[in-house]
């Protein structure tokens, strides 16, 4: 999908991914329906779409830094010639957030006890991962100066959280109260795992010292 040349013809998968990205902003409920009913859109393609959007972050940040340097040369008294300022931050923030979101998705799937003998099935996967496409799309905002870019990225994060509620209601049919309980449970679960790793790390560091 990424870096499509003007003369290249889009494949059906690429068209589906572009449609998915369009619907996540214009018609979120349709985006979840499209992802679930389209066999060509699986977790692999969803992650590829995230990766393509992440690549826009460092490109946008470098472009923003270049614009700032040019404007400072023309109008400013002091010029910061660091073209790569903030590039690392713009690049790592998205995979870190998505890693946490994907863990919430795992917890969500196994949150309820499912009795397969009664024909019950696990809920659809990747609902939260799909909702956070909006956050990954905020990578384009890095071209703007601070704090405007950070403000818009923060709004994109909150919008993705809102889409998570929409997605869980659409896919699982749960109410807002139950979704809040799930997020509290998921946060407690992930914090517990983090504390275990911190505890093990402190023991190893103590033994090595």
List pLDDT tens digits, range 64-105: 999 999 998 888 778 888 899 999 999 999 999 999 999 999
Please give the Cα distance from 75 to 127 (Å, whole number).
47
The C-alpha R_g of the chain, in whole angstroms, comes to: 21
What is residue 62's predicted lDDT score, i.e. its pLDDT?
Answer: 96
**Is pLDDT at 33 greater than 80 in this prediction?**
yes
Q: What is the pLDDT of residues 132-157, one digit of tens each?
A: 999 999 999 999 999 999 999 999 99
The arithmetic mean of pLDDT across residues 2-25, rounded, is 77
CB 166 within 8 A of CB 131: yes
What is residue 2's predicted lDDT score, i.e. its pLDDT?
Answer: 46
Q: Identify which of 79, 88, 86, 83 has the alpha carbon closest to the alpha carbon of residue 146.
A: 86
In the block, tokens 């889009």 appear at 10
What is residue 6's predicted lDDT score, i.e. its pLDDT?
Answer: 43
Please list the alpha-helical segments (H only) found in 38-114.
43-54, 56-75, 87-109
- For residue 41, count other CB atoms closer than 10 A to its CB: 20
């Amino acid at each position: 999908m990424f870096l499509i040349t003007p003369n290249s013809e889009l494949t059906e998968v690429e068209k589906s991914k572009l449609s998915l990205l369009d619907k996540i902003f214009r018609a979120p409920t349709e985006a979840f329906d499209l992802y679930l009913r389209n066999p060509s859109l699986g977790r692999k393609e969803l992650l590829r779409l995230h990766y393509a959007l992440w690549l826009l972050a460092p490109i946008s940040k470098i472009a923003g830094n270049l614009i700032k340097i040019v404007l400072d040369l023309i109008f400013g008294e002091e010029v910061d010639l660091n073209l790569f300022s903030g590039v690392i931050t713009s690049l790592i923030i998205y995979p870190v957030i998505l890693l946490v979101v994907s863990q919430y998705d795992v917890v969500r799937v196994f949150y309820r006890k499912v009795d397969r003998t009664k024909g019950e099935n696990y809920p659809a996967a990747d609902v939260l991962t799909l909702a956070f496409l909006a956050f990954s799309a905020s990578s384009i905002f890095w071209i703007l100066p601070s704090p405007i870019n950070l403000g818009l990225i923060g709004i994109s994060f909150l919008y993705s959280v809102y889409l998570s509620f929409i997605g869980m209601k659409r896919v699982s049919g749960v109410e807002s109260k139950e979704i809040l309980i799930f997020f509290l449970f998921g946060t407690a679960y992930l914090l517990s795992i983090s504390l275990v790793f911190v505890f093990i790390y402190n023991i190893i560091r103590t033994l090595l010292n």
